[in-house]
C-alpha cells in the first residue's frame, strides 16, 4: 500500500513524504543495515495504475507512470535520508522477475513484456535515456516528461543487492487462441488484440528452466550482487525453506 490516508502512490509529494519517514526509521533503528524502502515498485505500479486492482485503482498508462516514478524517486530520496544517518546502509531493491513466452503471433508483446520487467531497476540504475527501448512508450503513451526520466540518470541509486522475487506465477504465456482457455484466463490484451495471459507452468508442454536463467539474465544486465528475496506463495515454513535451498543450488550449478 501507499501508507497513511493522507498520501498515495500518485501524490506528487509521495517521494518526499517517504524520505521523511525513512529518516525517522533510521534515527530510531540506527543499527539496521539493509533497507527496501519500496517493495516491488514496478509490480505495485502495475496493479495500482494499470490493472485497477490496488489503490488508487488506475487503469491507464499515465497513472502507472506516476506511480512508478513516484516510488522509484521515493526509493532514491529515502536511501539518501537513511544514509545521512547511517552511511553503511545498503539498498536491497526487490522486484518480481519473471519471463513472458508466447505464440509466434504475439512475439512482439512478449518482447515488450521482457523489456518492461526491468524498468524499475533500470530507472534506479540510471539506465533510462533516449536510447532505452521503452523511452518512446514512456514519453508518448505514458506522458512521462524527459526531465523526470533523466533525473534518475543524474541521481543514480543503483541497488547494493538486486532482490529477485520469483513465483510459479512469474513466468507467463500469451496466446491469441482464446477458445483454448477457460474464461478466467482470457482477460489479457494490449488495446490491439485480446489474448489469454496464463501461468507458463499451466500450459507449456516443455517446462521452463525456472529461476536459474533469470538470475543469469539479471547478472548479465546489472553485474550487481543478487539475492532471492521471495520465492513462494503458500506452504509450510519447512517446505518454503526446502524449495528455496533447492532453487538456489540449481542456480549455482548452472
Per-residue pLDDT tens digits of the chain, which is 254 residues long:
677 888 999 999 999 999 999 999 999 999 999 999 999 999 999 999 999 999 999 999 999 999 999 999 999 999 999 999 999 999 999 999 999 999 999 999 999 999 999 999 999 999 999 999 999 999 999 999 999 999 999 999 999 999 999 998 999 999 999 999 999 899 899 999 999 999 999 998 888 888 999 999 999 999 999 999 988 777 777 877 776 666 666 666 65
Residue 48 has a pLDDT of: 95
Q: List phi, psi (to 5°) of 42.
A: -70, -45
Which helix (H) or strand (E) segment holds residue 208: the answer is none
Alpha helix stretches (DSSP H) within 86-198: 107-116, 119-124, 135-136, 146-154
Give per-residue burial for 165-185: e unless 16+ CB within 10 Å, then b: bbbeebbbbbbbeeeebeeeb
Residue 243 has a pLDDT of: 66
Whether 155 and 125 have beta carbons less than 8 Å apart is answered as: no
How many CA atoms lie less than 13 Å away from 234 in the CB half-sphere?
A: 1
Q: List phi, psi (to 5°) of 204.
A: -80, 130
Distance CA 223, CA 70 (A): 25
Whether 173 and 98 have beta carbons less than 8 Å apart is answered as: no
In terms of pTM, does the model score above 0.85?
yes
Give the residue from 178, 179, 184, 207 showing the smallest Cα distance to 106.
178
Q: Which residues are within 8 A (CB) of 202 and not within 5 positions of it... i.e. 6 or more apart?
A: 173
Residue 168 has a pLDDT of: 87
Residue 85 has a pLDDT of: 98
Residue 231 has a pLDDT of: 82
Distance CA 186, CA 203 (A): 14
Amino acid at each position: 500500500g501507499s501508507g497513511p490516508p493522507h498520501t498515495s502512490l500518485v501524490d506528487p509529494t509521495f517521494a518526499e513524504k517517504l524520505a521523511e519517514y525513512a529518516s525517522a526509521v533510521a534515527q530510531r533503528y540506527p543499527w539496521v543495515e539493509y533497507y527496501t524502502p519500496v517493495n516491488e515498485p514496478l509490480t505495485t505500479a502495475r496493479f495500482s495504475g494499470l490493472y485497477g486492482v490496488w489503490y488508487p485503482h488506475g487503469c491507464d498508462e499515465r497513472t502507472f507512470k506516476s506511480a512508478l516514478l513516484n516510488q522509484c524517486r521515493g526509493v532514491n530520496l529515502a536511501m539518501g535520508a537513511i544514509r545521512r544517518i547511517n552511511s553503511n546502509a545498503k539498498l536491497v531493491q526487490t522486484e518480481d522477475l519473471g519471463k513472458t513466452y508466447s505464440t509466434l503471433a504475439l512475439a512482439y508483446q512478449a518482447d515488450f513484456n521482457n523489456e518492461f520487467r526491468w524498468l524499475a531497476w533500470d530507472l534506479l540504475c540510471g539506465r533510462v535515456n533516449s536510447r532505452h527501448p521503452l523511452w518512446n512508450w514512456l514519453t508518448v503513451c505514458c506522458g512521462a516528461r524527459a526531465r523526470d526520466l533523466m533525473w534518475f540518470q543524474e541521481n543514480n541509486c543503483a541497488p547494493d543487492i538486486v532482490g529477485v522475487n520469483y513465483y510459479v506465477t512469474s513466468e507467463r504465456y500469451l496466446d491469441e487462441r482464446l477458445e483454448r482457455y477457460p474464461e478466467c484466463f482470457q482477460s489479457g490484451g494490449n488495446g490491439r488484440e485480446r489474448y489469454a495471459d496464463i501461468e507458463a507452468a499451466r500450459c507449456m508442454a516443455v517446462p521452463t528452466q525456472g529461476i536459474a536463467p533469470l538470475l543469469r539474465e539479471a547478472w548479465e544486465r546489472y553485474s550487481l550482487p543478487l539475492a532471492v528475496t521471495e520465492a513462494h506463495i503458500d506452504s509450510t515454513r519447512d517446505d518454503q525453506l526446502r524449495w528455496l535451498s533447492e532453487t538456489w543450488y540449481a542456480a549455482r550449478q548452472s
